């Protein structure tokens, strides 16, 4: 074979190598748009501006305020905690407002706090996660009356 | 520690596509080596190329069954690197009438089989956490193995090899995995203690003296490796591994400061007292000095490698057209110089990018992982690959002193291939566990962590699981 063919093959190989690198990077692009589809909550303000139909209908003012936090399952079943205006710390640590005696709960597991007329729950970097309904919390989310909050083996809900 | 999530999609078809492209690169490299040799495309092109392709496809099918949600990029990148390395070793065989490539492909087969067994046997990486202290014991054992008389052998001035039944093996390569498991297990249980206790001096929060214990032990181990086994590369690797893992676990800059000070202290001590370290540093600073060039263990290897890189230039001489065999150890320690000569700066930067992608995917698996142990393990394992690349490529290009570490997946040598493929299997497992859909119910987060994984879970059941 002559030199020309060699040169073409040599450069062709380099192009093939870069093609591999670029197609891998292309395949990863989807991963870089982190969470836009995986996000658990509603659309962001920016998405709503682009597409107004995404906006959720304005919520009716809550008819009833949550007054107690009731534990339905787990070691503390039956306990009812009176909610005041201050946040509630859930966890195994002694300083928690409700000390969960649950092997799967972290020391400072989650925080339940009031904002406006609603209560929000936020995971505090727990090992095993906090679940609202079926979904694991990735950020603070509002809790509706009767919606199940699960930490380890403990299940609780807000009651009027 | 931070956490990222992506929508759970298997993406195995994407992996197959990239894998075929990666195999095309590997076969292309083999083909070019073949047509540029005197006898034309040889038998090896067909047999070894097809063997590699078969192994890679079997691995892909196994991922489809056991780790469906694993990262789609890790396997193709690894296969491409392994294939290019094989072609280069074959090319140097042709020049030297050797048969290293055959041994290398056999080791590739063994390594991929062991990686598959790892995937099957572990299934859930959190099981490894129970072996924290066993992993420490195994690492110490592996590091001491070469010191046993008759079993251990001195090669190229370093006592890091063992001989069993005619096979030589470098146990230190496996020790980096067991050490990563130990550090991950230890730090994930003691993280909060180390994080909270301590005094604050200026902007630095200093750890308590007793929390410094493991750091000192890691430092002593790496110095011990350096003194007793005379292996500079592994000693840097082990210390770097621990420093990064403790930094990732605590996010405290003070650890980096303390670690760097210890490293500098150890380095100066080694330079002043150990002749082989002194030689390495002199060979790095004054590589072109004729006295040092001609001295035994001098800078000849580095300088020949640099000449090779210069000969390659931007585009390279083309596979099979250069003369990389002039460099001592051209198919193992200096394989980067060989590749740089024949593929040029353009080809070598593509290879460096492949490593970068591999390491970044490992870090991504760590970010996505839902437990501290998995995060630390994935960070540590992918960091070892990155640090090895830095130490080797930096040494060959005379950025830092040359030390005897292997280029992952490329350099000729079975132990390195084996341990790096196990690392890939673990990274695939961790990424599978972080990307698969969350199962609702307690079992998804709590019970799996304490119970052994269910071995019997077959295809059917995992299908059902995804439908839920």
Task: Convert A48-67 into a string of H (helix), E (strand) and C (coil).
Answer: HHHCHHHCCCCCCCCCCCCC
In chain B, what residues touch A14 (CB-CB under 8 Å)? 315-316, 343-344, 346-347, 350
pLDDT of residue A84 exceeding 50: yes
Q: Do B73 and A129 touch (CB under 8 A)?
A: no
The pLDDT, as a whole number, for residue B5 is 63
In chain B, what residues touch A1 (CB-CB under 8 Å)? 35
Choose from A12, A13, A130 for mutation: most chain B CBs within 10 A: A13
Task: Name the residue facing A10 among B318, B446, B449 (closest C-beta).
Answer: B318
pLDDT of residue A64 exceeding 70: no
Q: Do B28 and A21 touch (CB under 8 A)?
A: no
Q: What is the dihedral of CA B399, B404, B410, B415, to 10 degrees?
A: -150
Into how many domains does chain B fold?
A: 1
Q: What is the rounded CA–CA span in Å between residue A103 and residue B198?
A: 28
B10 to chain A, any CB pair closer than 8 A? The answer is: no
Nearest-neighbour CA in chain B from A60: distance (Å): 30
B251 to chain A, any CB pair closer than 8 A? The answer is: no
Kindly report the number of other CB atoms within 10 A of residue B3's CB atom: 14
Q: Do B350 and A14 touch (CB under 8 A)?
A: yes
Assigned domain for B463 exists:
yes
Q: Which of A31-35, A132-136, B18-22, B295-299 is least confident?
A: A31-35
Contact call for residues B419 and B114 (beta carbons, < 8 A) = no
Cβ-Cβ pairs closer than 8 A, A with B, add up to 106
- Three-state DSSP state, B452: coil
Burial A59-76 (b: 16+ CB within 10 A, else e): eeeeeeebeebebeebeb
**DSSP letter at B438?**
P
User: Of B214, B219, B223, which Cα lies nearest the Cα of B191?
Assistant: B214
A157 or A55: whose pLDDT is higher?
A157
Task: Name the residue facing B18 among A11, A27, A38 (closest C-beta).
Answer: A27
Instruction: State the burial class of residue B377 (Cβ atoms within 10 Å of its Cβ: 0-12, 13-18, 19+).
Output: buried
Nearest-neighbour CA in chain B from A37: distance (Å): 7
Kindly report the number of other CB atoms within 10 A of residue B275's CB atom: 10
- In order along its 468 residues, chain B shows pLDDT tens digits of 666 666 677 888 999 999 999 999 999 998 888 887 776 666 777 888 889 999 999 999 999 998 889 999 999 999 999 999 999 999 998 888 888 888 899 999 999 999 999 999 988 888 999 998 899 889 888 888 888 877 777 776 677 778 776 677 888 889 999 999 999 998 888 887 777 777 777 666 777 777 767 767 777 877 787 777 778 888 888 888 988 998 898 888 888 888 889 888 888 888 888 888 888 888 888 888 888 888 877 788 899 999 999 999 998 998 888 888 888 888 888 999 999 999 999 999 999 999 999 999 999 999 888 888 999 999 999 999 999 999 999 999 999 988 878 899 999 888 999 999 999 999 999 999 888 876 544 333 443 444 444 444 444 444 444 444
Supply the range of the domain harboring residue B451: 439-468
Count of residues making up chain B: 468
The pLDDT, as a whole number, for residue B219 is 74
Q: Do B371 and A19 touch (CB under 8 A)?
A: no
In chain A, what residues touch B346 (CB-CB under 8 Å)? 14, 18
User: Could you tell me the two tokens for B90?
Assistant: 């074959």
Residue of B nearest to A31 (CA): B6
Task: Name the residue facing A16 among B7, B24, B72 (closest C-beta).
Answer: B24
Q: Residues of chain A with pLDDT > 70: what percent?
A: 79
Give the B window 258-317 contacts with A, CB below 8 Å.
315-316
B4 to chain A, any CB pair closer than 8 A? The answer is: yes
B137 to chain A, any CB pair closer than 8 A? The answer is: no
Task: Name the residue facing A24 among B77, B318, B449 (closest C-beta).
Answer: B77
- Three-state DSSP state, A122: strand
Give the B window 339-368 contacts with A, CB below 8 Å.
343-344, 346-347, 350-351, 353-354, 357, 364
The pLDDT, as a whole number, for residue B455 is 42
Could you identify the residue written with the tokens 């096979």? B167
Assigned domain for B443 exists:
yes
In chain B, what residues touch A110 (CB-CB under 8 Å)? none
Q: What is the rounded CA–CA span in Å between residue B31 and residue B44?
A: 10
Q: What is the rounded CA–CA span in Å between residue B27 and residue B80?
A: 10
Assigned domain for B447 exists:
yes
A58 or A25: whose pLDDT is higher?
A25
Assigned domain for B51 exists:
no
Q: Do B442 and A153 touch (CB under 8 A)?
A: yes
The pLDDT, as a whole number, for residue A151 is 87
Residue B232 CB partners (closer than 8 Å, separation 6+):
B226, B270, B276, B277, B280, B401, B403, B404
- Three-state DSSP state, B185: helix
The pLDDT, as a whole number, for residue B215 is 66
Nearest-neighbour CA in chain A from B77: distance (Å): 8
Rg over alpha carbons for chain B, rounded to the nearest Å, is: 23
Could you identify the residue written with the tokens 């060989």? B338
| ipTM > 0.90 for the complex | no
Contact call for residues B319 and B33 (beta carbons, < 8 A) = yes
**DSSP letter at A119?**
E
What are the start-end ranges of the E strands in B132-228?
A: 152-155, 158-164, 167-169, 199-201, 204-206
Ordered strands of the A154-159 beta sheet: A80-82, A68-73, A154-159, A149-151, A130-132, A135-136
In chain A, what residues touch B1 (CB-CB under 8 Å)? 125
Interstrand relation of B204-206 and A98-99 (parallel, antiparallel or unpaired): unpaired
- What pTM was computed for the model? 0.76
């Amino acid at each position: 074979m002559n030199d020309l063919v060699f040169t073409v093959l040599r450069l062709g190989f380099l192009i093939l190598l870069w093609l591999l690198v670029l197609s891998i990077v292309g395949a990863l692009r989807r991963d870089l748009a982190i969470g836009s589809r995986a996000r658990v909550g509603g659309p962001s303000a920016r998405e709503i501006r682009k597409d107004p139909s995404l906006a959720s209908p304005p919520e009716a003012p809550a008819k009833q305020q949550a007054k107690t936090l009731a534990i339905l399952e787990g070691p503390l079943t039956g306990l009812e905690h009176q909610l005041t205006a201050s946040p509630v710390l859930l966890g195994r640590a002694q300083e928690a407002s409700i000390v969960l005696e649950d092997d799967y709960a972290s020391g400072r597991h989650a925080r339940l706090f009031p904002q406006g007329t609603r209560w929000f729950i936020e995971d505090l970097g727990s090992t095993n996660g906090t679940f609202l309904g079926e979904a694991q919390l990735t950020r603070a989310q509002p809790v509706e009356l009767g919606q199940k909050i699960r930490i380890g083996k403990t299940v609780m809900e807000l009651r009027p | 520690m931070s956490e990222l999530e992506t929508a759970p999609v298997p993406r195995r078809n994407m992996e197959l596509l990239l894998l075929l492209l990666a195999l095309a690169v590997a076969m292309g490299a083999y083909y070019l080596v073949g047509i540029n040799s005197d006898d034309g495309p040889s038998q090896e092109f067909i047999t070894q190329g097809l063997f590699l392709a078969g192994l890679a496809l079997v691995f892909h099918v196994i991922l489809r069954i056991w780790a469906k949600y694993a990262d789609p990029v890790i396997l193709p990148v690894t296969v491409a690197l392994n294939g290019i390395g094989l072609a280069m070793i074959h090319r140097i065989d042709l020049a030297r009438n050797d048969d290293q490539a055959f041994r290398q492909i056999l080791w590739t087969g063994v390594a991929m089989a062991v990686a598959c067994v790892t995937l099957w046997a572990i299934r859930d990486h959190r099981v490894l956490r129970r072996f924290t202290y066993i992993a420490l014991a195994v690492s110490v054992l592996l590091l001491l193995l070469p010191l046993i008389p008759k079993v251990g052998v001195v090669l190229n001035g370093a006592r890091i090899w063992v001989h069993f039944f005619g096979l030589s093996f470098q146990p230190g390569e496996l020790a980096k995995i067991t050490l990563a498991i130990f550090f991950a297990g230890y730090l994930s249980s003691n993280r909060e203690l180390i994080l909270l206790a301590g005094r604050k001096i200026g902007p630095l929060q200093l750890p308590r003296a007793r929390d410094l214990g493991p750091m000192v032990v890691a430092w002593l181990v790496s110095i011990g490796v350096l003194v007793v086994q005379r292996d500079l590369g592994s000693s840097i690797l082990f210390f770097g591994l621990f420093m990064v893992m403790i930094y990732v676990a605590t996010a405290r800059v003070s650890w980096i400061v303390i670690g760097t000070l210890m490293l500098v202290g150890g380095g100066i001590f080694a330079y002043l007292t150990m002749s082989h370290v002194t030689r390495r540093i002199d060979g790095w600073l004054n590589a072109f000095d004729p006295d040092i060039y001609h001295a035994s263990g001098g800078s000849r290897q580095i300088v020949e490698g640099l000449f090779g890189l210069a000969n390659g230039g931007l585009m390279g001489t083309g596979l099979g057209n250069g003369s990389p065999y002039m460099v001592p150890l051209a198919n193992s320690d200096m394989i980067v110089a060989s590749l740089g000569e024949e593929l040029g700066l353009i080809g070598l930067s593509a290879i460096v990018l492949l490593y970068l992608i591999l390491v970044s995917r490992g870090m991504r698996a760590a970010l996505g992982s839902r437990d501290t142990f998995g995060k630390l393990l994935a960070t540590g394992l992918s960091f070892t690959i990155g640090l090895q690349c830095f130490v080797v490529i930096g040494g060959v290009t005379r950025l830092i002193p040359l030390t005897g570490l292997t280029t992952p997946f490329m350099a000729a040598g079975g132990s390195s291939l084996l341990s790096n493929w196990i690392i890939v299997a673990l990274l695939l497992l961790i990424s599978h566990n972080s990307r698969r859909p969350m199962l609702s119910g307690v079992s998804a987060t709590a019970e799996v962590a304490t119970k052994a994984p269910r071995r019997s879970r077959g295809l059917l059941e995992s299908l059902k699981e995804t439908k839920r």
